Amino acid sequence: METTCNITDWIERIKTMKNFRELDESFIEQLVRQALALASDEKEILSSIKTAIQDATNRFRAMEGSYREMIAELDDSPDRGLTAADHELFAADLLRRHEASKERIPFIRRYYKEIFGLLPPIGSILDLGCGLNPVAITFMPVSPQVHYTAVDLSLDLVDFINDFFRLAGISGIAIQSNLLNGIPDIEADLTLVQKTLPLLDRVEKDAARRLFDAVRSPNAVVSFKTTKKRAKAGDSRDFIAEYESLLAASSWETVKLVYPNEIVFVLKR
């Protein structure tokens, strides 16, 4: 009973903290349970929860308030008389507000042209751990009728993506969901899991493998960040090598593409 109270108190405490308020509650609960299992000192527990949130999501995203401000910016943006180049500039400006999409901007047009060039026509996309990537639809050679479902942990980010879909006239929906609980039950022609699998494994052993096994779409794009920086402690697993052997043993037809800071596997079955 005492432990349950403790867990509830910790969840309430974390939920009200700046920069954590928008997070999925089940994710907070998972981190609280893990921290309580490993430490009893209050400072240690708090520090371990904060580090886990930072590693999984906050280090990529803009600070609290920013995505709500961006929604206002979107509402103020002109919706008439814009050329395709204007749309791309606008999208690139938005993509800068999430670290994962920011580092892709220098080669984003080539990136999506090459990826979609390997795939059959795509009518629906499920983007898991999406960040701001749905905004990059401007650079994806897909039909204007494509349906886009985007999934991430934070409500403000999800609200922003929903507003973006509405204002850009895209058929799409963004959902707040914790992928550690599984993939939302949504049919799609293409599943995107870009630069996200290692983050899941860091919170829960084997979560990346379970998520990958649960992908039901006939096509998928799975990518990993590559970095020249020294790996942080606990970050030493070679996910790319692990993934290559997993794919070699699977029924997916695989093409590997290499970009300056990202390795991409384009999968078909």
Kindly list the residues in this chain that would bind ligand SAM in the complex (CB under 6 A).
27, 56-57, 60, 100-101, 129-131, 133, 152-153, 178-180, 194-196, 199-200
What is the smallest separation between the CB atom of 61 and ligand SAM, expressed in angstroms?
Answer: 6
What is the smallest separation between the CB atom of 40 and ligand SAM, expressed in angstroms?
Answer: 26
**Whose Cβ is closer to ligand SAM: residue 3's or residue 54's?**
54
d(CA 85, CA 83): 5
**Whose Cβ is closer to ligand SAM: residue 255's or residue 259's?**
259
Decide if 253 contacts 269 (C-beta within 8 A). Answer: yes
Instruction: Give residue 186's Cα distance to chain centre.
Output: 16
**Whose Cβ is closer to ligand SAM: residue 81's or residue 234's?**
234
CB atoms within 10 A of CB 38: 10
**Whose Cβ is closer to ligand SAM: residue 124's or residue 177's?**
177
d(CA 227, CA 208): 20
Backbone angles phi, psi at 148, to 5 degrees: -120, 125
**Whose Cβ is closer to ligand SAM: residue 147's or residue 225's?**
225
State the DSSP H helix or E strand holding residue 151, giving kind and residue range, or none if neither. Answer: strand 147-152
Q: What's the DSSP call for residue 250?
A: S
What is the smallest separation between the CB atom of 159 and ligand SAM, expressed in angstroms?
Answer: 14
Apex CA 55: angle with CA 188 and CA 184, to 5°?
A: 20
What is the smallest separation between the CB atom of 42 and ligand SAM, expressed in angstroms?
Answer: 25
**Whose Cβ is closer to ligand SAM: residue 3's or residue 266's?**
266
Q: For residue 150, list its beta bridge partners.
A: 127, 174
What is the smallest separation between the CB atom of 85 and ligand SAM, expressed in angstroms?
Answer: 22
CB atoms within 10 A of CB 179: 25
What is the smallest separation between the CB atom of 167 and ligand SAM, expressed in angstroms?
Answer: 20
Decide if 224 contacts 263 (C-beta within 8 A). Answer: yes
